[in-house]
Amino acid sequence: MVADMPSAVLPTFADVEAAASRLAGQAVVTPLIESTLLNDRLGSRLLVKAEVLQRTGSFKFRGAFNRISLIPEAERARGVVAFSSGNHAQGVAAAARLLGMPATIVMPSDAPAIKVRNTRDWGAEVVLYDRWKEDREAIGARISHETGATLVRPYDDPYIMAGQGTIGLELADQANAAHARLDAVLAPCSGGGMIGGIALAIAARSPGTGVYAVEPAGFDDTARSLAAGQRLSNAPGASSFCDALLAPMPGELTFAVNSALLAGGFAVTDSQVAEAMAVARDHFKLVVEPGGAVALAAVLAGKIPSGGKTIAVVCSGGNVDPDLYAQALASAGRR
Amino acid sequence: MVADMPSAVLPTFADVEAAASRLAGQAVVTPLIESTLLNDRLGSRLLVKAEVLQRTGSFKFRGAFNRISLIPEAERARGVVAFSSGNHAQGVAAAARLLGMPATIVMPSDAPAIKVRNTRDWGAEVVLYDRWKEDREAIGARISHETGATLVRPYDDPYIMAGQGTIGLELADQANAAHARLDAVLAPCSGGGMIGGIALAIAARSPGTGVYAVEPAGFDDTARSLAAGQRLSNAPGASSFCDALLAPMPGELTFAVNSALLAGGFAVTDSQVAEAMAVARDHFKLVVEPGGAVALAAVLAGKIPSGGKTIAVVCSGGNVDPDLYAQALASAGRR
């Protein structure tokens, strides 16, 4: 692929490998960890990709850096613009700073405070909008038109998908080094960019491993779209504390990849997610935000038969406001 | 050194290197991580050795495995015995299980529940004692005498020190890979085994780097002993929520090493520790127990001049009961 390719071109495994080269020395190679005691309890081998340790506290830095690093020299001074509820915001802001470019981020006024503050601390200009009354895509397009800034989409972009796919590349290598033959990989899904990128990498590096998208209950558009064979939207009115996973429907490019490569999808409730956040604290010593914990929640809740299996889950982000974190942990049962 | 050496022989850097060979593939090479935003705030480069990700959730596995793996074949069936408030307990229990040996652990009845439960889950027999009325060393010695089990000391043992020292070996290599020239390394200190082992490694691999012990206020026996040039005990009556760091005075072997190699020691209050636990949550996405957070607390509290410097801290454990963790975070200010 080249930088000015039409956006409708799908990413390939070669794009994931190219992204890995660009990210070398920039992104953290996050560890793949496990807990013997939790494995004993589950009767399976559970590997956790600790992506909360990524730069900016979530996987989003990978795709953002890969995408932004491809902006031609002549266009860099005009900067980038993105809209995001928070993790993409920070990923874009950090990547832009590292590449010496200005960034404007359009964020909902009810985004977690930690995400807004960190985005500003990375040096980006934050433009807040009302999630219920204003159209973030229109605001982003207007800013891009007025300033000439490159719009960096959150998921429906082949370079974004390829960047997130480097998680799958690392995961396959690390599982191999740990003598683990992966039966399944589960990762959180909103627009579908991360799971699609991972699926590209796993299909190439660990064929035979099932890749599954996990979404919050009420926002399982990808699972339902996979089952229906066409893109479906979420019904209005649902709510979830997984603020990072509220995309209304699968992306066009992401669904094209995911419908070809994914084995299926699962949905988990907020209380199952809170339980997973507590398990992440107790067994992995990781702070995981609600949206980052859905894949772990799916395994713990028995959504996929795990007995005797080796399953990897991505814990994709840890940017959670202190009060919400405390509430979630307090609501979880004791193990 | 050989397995039946007199206990008064001091460990050397060669022992740390030998320990690293024994631990290869058994212990986790824990990542060295940093936060650009926190570095911005501090005006320095702060590297965190995320030892909470170690097997059993603390550094203690390293020393325990190194020590227990040297027990001769003929003595293994008789097992091991140890006394510990919790992290050494889990380290010994896990190492014994991996080496196919029975373990008995003498723990105070007021040890954190998570540490007692995990020690049992690793397959060890737990013997509880009253911290105020009974002598744990006497109980351990009696069990060792009756069963023939090898006593595995928590810190005053050259193999334990050498095992913990592998943290310093990894830290020096990882700092080098990150193009960081370390001005100082700070680690938590109770009996002094970890800091002593780290000092051996840093003296060999990163000469010129100052190594500092950090203790809870009221339990700064090592800092005061270093200043006085002789082993001093803590005054009775102090209290701290750093349950892992309440040793009454420096060990004999550990002080011999530490008085030769350490640049000094610092003491931090419980409220400074709580603040550090919140920073670990927000900036590093790590769950750190009170005793594991004292070195980070010392840097954040300005105990060591950090402006323009590169400083590494060890976050040494994450085994904290949920209620205490919630209380500590709730008591910390907001950043």
| Per-residue model confidence as pLDDT tens digits over B41-99 | 999 999 999 999 999 999 999 999 999 999 999 999 999 999 988 899 999 999 999 99
C-beta atoms of B281 and A288 within 8 A: no
Q: Which helix (H) or strand (E) covers residue B221, if one does? A: helix B221-228
* The pLDDT value given to residue B3: 41
pLDDT for the residue B5? 42
Q: Indicate the pLDDT class of residue A6, thresholds 50, 70 and 90.
A: very low
User: Are B185 and B198 a contacting pair, CB within 8 Å?
Assistant: yes
Could you report how far apart the first and last alpha carbons of chain A are, in Å?
A: 49
**What pLDDT does A179 receive?**
96
Q: Do residues A50 and A284 lie in contact, with contact meaning Cβ atoms separated by under 8 Å?
A: yes
Beta strand B45-50 with B32-33: parallel, antiparallel or unpaired? antiparallel
Q: In the predicted model, what is the mean pLDDT of residues B210-224?
A: 98
Confidence of residue A8 (pLDDT cuts 50, 70, 90): low
Digit-coded pLDDT (tens) for B8-39: 699 999 999 999 999 999 999 999 999 999 99
Selecting from A285, A288, A318 the residue whose C-beta is nearest the C-beta of B52 gives A285
> What are the residue boundaries of the structural domains of chain A, listed by start?
13-58+158-331, 61-151
DSSP, residue by residue, B98-163: HTT--EEEEEETTS-HHHHHHHHHTTPEEEEE-TTTS-HHHHHHHHHHHH-PEE--SSSSHHHHHH
Q: Which of B49, B60, B115, B309 is catalytic?
A: B60
- The minimum CA-CA distance between A224 and chain B, rounded to whole Å, is 32
- Is B47 at the interface with chain A, CB within 8 A? no
B326 touches chain A (CB under 8 A): yes
pLDDT, greater one: A248 or B165: B165
Question: Would an 8 Å CB–CB cutoff place A122 in contact with chain B?
Answer: yes
Residues of A in contact with B36 (CB under 8 A): 55, 94, 122
Residues of A in contact with B25 (CB under 8 A): none
Mean pLDDT of B134-159: 94
Alpha helices in A217-321 (DSSP H): 221-228, 252-261, 270-279, 294-300
A287: distance to nearest CA of chain B, Å? 5
pLDDT in tens, A259-295: 999 999 999 999 999 999 999 999 999 999 999 999 9
| CATH code for the structural domain at B13-58+157-331 | 3.40.50.1100
Stretch B173-193: mean pLDDT: 97
Residues A14-39: what's their mean pLDDT? 97
| Mean pLDDT value across residues A15-34 | 97
pLDDT at residue B4 tops 70 = no
Say if residue B197's pLDDT is above 70. Answer: yes
> Computed over its alpha carbons, how large is the radius of gyration of chain A?
18
Nearest CA in chain B to A119: B37
Query: Does the beta-carbon distance from A282 to B114 stay under 8 Å?
Result: yes
ipTM beyond cut 0.90: yes
Distance of CA B71 to the CA centre of its chain: 22
Q: Do B33 and A33 touch (CB under 8 A)?
A: no
Residue from B41, B54, B285 to probe the interface with A (highest A Cβ count within 10 Å): B285
Q: Is B37 on the interface with A (CB under 8 A)?
A: yes
Q: Which SS3 state, helix, strand or coil, does residue A277 take?
A: helix
Strand (E) or helix (H) holding A173: helix A158-177
| pLDDT over 60 at A329, yes or no | yes
Buried b (16+ CB within 10 A) or exposed e, A5-37: eeeeeebbbebbbbbbebbeebbbbbbbbbbbb
pLDDT in tens, B221-264: 999 999 999 999 999 999 999 988 988 999 999 999 999 999 99
- Buried (b) or exposed (e) across B37-54, using 16+ Cβ within 10 A? bbeeebebbbbbbbbbbb
pLDDT digit string (tens) for A133-171?
999 889 999 999 999 999 999 999 999 999 999 999 999
Phi, psi of B150 (to 5 degrees): -75, 130
A51 contacts in chain B (CB < 8 Å): none
Q: Which helix (H) or strand (E) holds B88?
A: helix B87-98
Q: Is residue A241 exposed (0-12), middle (13-18) or buried (19+ Cβ within 10 Å)?
A: middle
Q: Compute the average pLDDT of residues B103-111.
A: 93
**Chain A neighbours among B 65-94 (CB < 8 Å)?**
94
B55 touches chain A (CB under 8 A): yes
pLDDT for the residue B2? 37
The vertex-B268 CA angle with B267 and B271, nearest 5°, equals 165
Give, rounded to a whole angstrom, the gap between the first and last alpha carbons of chain B: 49
Query: Count of A–B CB contacts within 8 Å?
Result: 68
Residue A61 touches chain B, beta carbons under 8 Å:
no
| B85 is an active site residue | no
Cα–Cα dist B16/B118, whole Å: 28
How far apart CA A46 and CA A308 sit, in angstroms, is 10
Say whether pLDDT at A240 is over 50. yes
Range A30-51 average pLDDT: 97
Residues in B touching A33 (Cβ below 8 Å): 28, 53
Handedness of CA A9, A14, A18, A23 (dihedral sign): positive
Query: Per-residue DSSP letters for B246-295?
Result: --SS--HHHHHHHHHH--EEEEE-HHHHHHHHHHIIIII-B---GGGGHH
More confident residue, B328 or B132: B328
B26 neighbors B54 (Cβ within 8 angstroms): no
Whole-number Å distance between alpha carbons of A196 and A88: 16
Rounded mean pLDDT of A179-208? 97
Q: Mean pLDDT throughout B109-121?
A: 92
**Residues B281, A325: C-beta atoms closer than 8 Å:** yes
CA distance B158 to A14: 51
CA distance B17 to B20: 5
Contact A321, A112 (CB under 8 A): yes
Tell me which residues of A are annotated as active site: 60, 316
Q: Which residues of A touch B55 (CB under 8 A)?
A: 36
For A223-235, the pLDDT digits (tens) are 999 999 999 999 9
Which residues of chain B lie closer than 8 angstroms to A318, CB-CB? 285
- Ranges B128-137, B154-163, B209-218: which has the least confidence: B128-137
Predicted confidence (pLDDT) at residue B280 exceeds the cutoff of 70: yes
DSSP per residue, A243-269: GGG--SS--HHHHHHHHHH--EEEEE-
* Collapsed DSSP state (helix, strand, coil) of residue B62: helix
Question: Is B331 a residue of the active site?
Answer: no
Instruction: Kindly identify which residue of chain A lies nearest to residue B333, measuring between CA atoms.
Output: A322
Residue with tokens 């992966």: A182
What is the model's pTM? Answer: 0.95
**How far does B12 lie from chain A, in Å, by closest CA?**
30
CB atoms under 10 Å from CB of B224, counted, come to: 19
Q: How many helices (H) and strands (E) does chain B have?
A: 13, 10
Provide the pLDDT for residue A137.
87
- Percent of chain A exceeding pLDDT 90 equals 90
Q: Which residue of B has its CA nearest to A40?
A: B121
Cross-chain Cβ contact B55/A33 below 8 Å? no
CATH architecture under which domain A13-58+158-331 falls: 3-Layer(aba) Sandwich (3.40)
* CATH architecture entry for B61-151: 3-Layer(aba) Sandwich (3.40)
The reply to whether B13-58+157-331 and B61-151 are identical in fold is: yes
B-proximal residues of A, 161-190, CB under 8 Å: none
Rounded Cα distance between A119 and B78, Å, is 58
Average pLDDT of the residues of chain B: 94
